[in-house]
Structure 1
Amino acid sequence: MDSARRQIEDLVRGAVPYESGLDLLAVAPAAEIDPALFAALIDATARLWRGGWQPAELHRAVVRRGGTDRPVLGLAVVDAIAVQLRGLDRRTIDDRWLAQADELEARVWWSADERYVSELTAKRRRDRISVVDDLLGLLTELAELPSIEVLVPFLKTAAAARPGASAVDDRLLDRVRALLAKAESTTYPAEAETYTAKAQELIARHAIDEALLAGRGERTDVVPFARRIGVDHPYEGEKASLLSAVADANRCHTVWSPDLGFTTVFGFDADIDAVDLLYTSLLVQAGRAMAKAEPPGGKAGRARLKAFRQSFLVAYAVRIGERLARATELALEQATDKSFLPVLRSRDEQVRETMTRIFPRTVRGRGSRVDSREGWESGREAADQAVLS
C-alpha cells in the first residue's frame, strides 16, 4: 500500500504526468490501489476539516469545479464526511456541522473501507478505471483548496457554543419566512412587494430592539461573527452583488471569494440570519421575474439572452439595495427612542474590525457591465415589484 500511496501522491502533486500516472495505477493490482485511494481521500478531506471547511462548503466547491459532469466527486466528498463522523458520539459534534452533514445524507453505506472503490464502481454503474480517474481528479482538486477561517469547528467547544451570540427570535423568523413564502408564490407583483417590504421592516425593528437592549446594558455579551453563504453559477458576480446589497441594508459587510464559491458575511448573528433569509428569497423572486421578462433564446439570440440576464441581475441588485436601505431608514425614523443609534454605530465598527482581522487585505470588486438596456429596465422593474418582507 505504501508504494501505491506514493504513486498517488506523485500524481496529485504533479510530479508525474497525469495520464502516465493514471496508466500505472490502472494496471496495478486493485487490492493495492483501492485502499490507498480511499486513505488518500480521507486524509485530504481531514486536512480541509481542520482548515476551516464545513461539509456544505466543501461539497459545493467540489461540485462547482466539475462535480456536475462527474457525480462521483460530490458523492465521494459526502462519503468522506460520513467517515469523519463514524464512531463518534453525535452529542460531541457541533450542531451546525452535524446539520450540514445530515442535509447531505452522509452515511457509511459501503461494507469495508478496502472495498470502497469497487462498491462505488458498482453503485455508480461505471467501469473501475473511470472511477479511479474521478477519485484522482478529486484528490487533485482537494489539494488545491487552501485553509480558510474556522467559523464552525467540528467538535463542540465553549467558543463554539457562543452563548453571547444574538439570534433572531424563532417566532420572528417564522413570520419573516411566511411573508417571504407569500412573496415567492404570488403572481401579483404589488403583493410581492408588500410582503417583502414588511419582512425587511420586521427585521429592522428587531435590530432596533436588540440595540436598545444593548444600550441599557441588558445585552453586553453579544459579539459579531461571520457566516459563509454559497454563491453559485451562473452569473455569480451579479448574485454576489445582490447578496452584498442585502447585507449592506442590514448592517453587515461582505467579502466575496469567487474561486471558492462563497461570500463571507460579517455581522451579528441576528442580522446575518436576516440576510440569509432575504437573499435566498430574492434570488427566487429574481429568477422567476427574469424568466418571465427575458427575450426568446435560440442560437441567434443566445448572446442577447446572456446580456439581458446579466444586465437584469445587475439592475435588480442595485434597485433592491435602494429599497432595502429605504425600508431600514423608515424603521429608524419611526422609532421614538433614538438611544439605539450610538449602539448601531458601535456595532458597525465591531463588525468592520472583525472583517479586517480575518481579511486584512481585500480588493474592491469591479462592477459588472450592462450591455442590455432591456435587461436593465426589466431588472429594476422586477426589483420594484419584489417582496422585501
Structure 2
Amino acid sequence: MEDTFAAALARATRGGTDDVDAAASVLAAEADWDAVARSAADDVVRDCARRGWQPQDLLRMAGRELEPPHQRLAAALPEPGLGAFARTERLDRFSAATAYVELLRLYARLPAIPALAVEAGEEAAPPKMLARIRALLAKAESTGYPEEAEALSAKAQHLMARHSIDAALLAASHDTRATAGARRIGVDRPYEGAKALLLDAVAAANRCQSVWSSELGFSTVVGHAPDLDAVELLYTSLLVQADRALHGGRTSRSRDFRESFLIAYASRIRARLLTATAEEESETPDLLPALTSRALAVEDTTRRLFPTTTTSRLRARDADGWHHGESAADTAHLRGARHRP
C-alpha cells in the first residue's frame, strides 16, 4: 500500500542505512511498485518545489551526491517507471528499490533555498540566436586553427553583445521598469572555490551578481536574461580552456598547484573582462542610464534573494601554479565577453 511505503520512506529520511533497506524492501514487495514509486516521487518533488528546488537543481544534486545510476534515475523521474529502470540497469527489484529510496531520501533532506526570480522572457535571446551562438562556440572550441577560433568567437561575441544592448535600449525607450531574474549554475568538484571565483568574475563583467552556495554545489547568478545567457556560455567555455591549459599533457601536478592555477586564472580573467566592459561602456554614453537602472534591479533582486551573505577568501599556495594560471588566462579566448560590435 502507498501509505505503508510513505511511512517507511519517512523513517528512511530521518534514519540510517537499516531504514533505507527497510523502505526498499517495502517498495520491492509492492505488486504495483511503479504506481507506488510514482506517487511517492510526485509528493517528494512537489515538496522540493515548495522549498525552492527546480527540476534541474534536483538532477544536479543527484549527480553530485549519489552515483551515476541515481542520476539516470533522477533524469527519468517519475517516468518511465521503476520497472523500466531496473531492466535498463539490470538490477533486481530490491537493488532498484534501494536506489529509488536513496534518491528520494536525498531530495527530502534538502534544505529550503530561495525561490528564484522569474527571468524576463521578452529579454531572453531568441532560441535561433542562442543556437547560432552555441554552434559558433562549439566550432571555436574544436578547431585547430587559432585564427578561425578567434573569428568564430568574435561572431559569437557580436551576437550576444548586440542583443544585450538592444534589449537595454528597448526597455529604456518603452520606459519599462528593469527587472532582474536569477539562474543557478553548477560549480562542480574539485576546486569548487576557485571555480566559483571564476564564475563570479564572469558574472561581474556581464553586469550580474553571483552568490555561491558552497555546500550545495552551485552559484545563483542574478541578472537580466541576455546577460545570464552570456555568463553561462562564457563560464562554460573558460572552464574548458582552463582544464586544457591546466593538464597540458601533465598529470602529476599537486593539488596546491591546481588550485593556485585556477585562482590565478580567475583573477586575471576578471581583470581582462572588467577592462573590456569599461571600454565598451565608455564608448556608449547614451546607454549608461539604462545600464544603471538594470544594475539597480540586479542589486535589489540579489538583496531580496540573499538578505545575508558572507565573504570567503581563497589563498594560492603554489607560486608556480599561480604563474601558469595567469599565463593561461592571458591567452584565453573571451567568448561572449562584452565588447562594442
Identity of aligned residues (%): 43
2:270 to 300, 316, 321: 321
Partner of 2:338: none
**1:208-223 aligned within 5 A:** 208-215=165-172, 217-218=173-174, 220-223=176-179
**1:40-189 aligned within 5 A:** 40-68=40-68, 71=69, 73-80=70-77, 83=78, 108-110=79-81, 116=82, 118-151=83-116, 162=120, 165-168=122-125, 173=130, 176-177=133-134, 180-187=137-144
Distance 1:133 1:339 in 2: 60
Bigger shift: 203-212 or 312-321? Answer: 203-212
The yes-or-no answer on 1:269 pairing with 2:225 is: yes
Shift of 1:128: 3.0
Shift of 1:327: 1.3
Partner of 1:30: 29
Shift of 1:26: 3.5
In the superposition, the TM-score normalised over structure 1's length comes to 0.74
Distance 1:266 1:28 in 2: 41
Shift of 1:231: 1.6
Distance 2:128 2:23 in 1: 60
Letter in 2 for 1:360: P
Partner of 1:286: 242
Distance 1:171 1:330, change over 3 A: farther
Shift of 1:201: 6.5
The yes-or-no answer on 1:248 pairing with 2:190 is: no
Shift of 1:343: 2.5
Answer whether contact 1:192 1:386 (CA < 8 A) is retained.
no
Distance 2:19 2:167 in 1: 61
Partner of 2:257: 308
Secondary structure of the residue that 1:227 maps to in structure 2?
strand
Distance 1:53 1:28, change over 3 A: closer
Distance 1:333 1:133 in 2: 59
The yes-or-no answer on 1:5 pairing with 2:6 is: yes
Secondary structure of the residue that 1:313 maps to in structure 2?
helix
Distance 2:130 2:65 in 1: 34
Distance 1:189 1:180 in 2: 13
Secondary structure of the residue that 2:53 maps to in structure 1?
coil
Letter in 1 for 2:125: V
Distance 1:270 1:327, change over 3 A: same
Describe the superposition over 1:244-281 as per-residue Cα deviations: whole angstroms up to 9, x where unpaired: 10010011001111222221111111111111111111
Shift of 1:196: 5.0
Partner of 2:306: 359
Distance 1:169 1:4 in 2: 45
**Structure 1 stretches lacking a partner, 5+ long:** 84-107, 111-115, 153-159, 298-303
- Give the paired residue count: 333
Secondary structure of the residue that 2:244 maps to in structure 1?
helix
Letter in 1 for 2:17: Y
Distance 1:109 1:124 in 2: 13
Shift of 1:349: 1.4
Shift of 1:241: 1.0
Answer whether contact 2:120 2:224 (CA < 8 A) is retained.
no
Distance 1:21 1:341, change over 3 A: closer
Distance 2:27 2:269 in 1: 58
Distance 1:151 1:25, change over 3 A: closer
Secondary structure of the residue that 2:183 maps to in structure 1?
strand
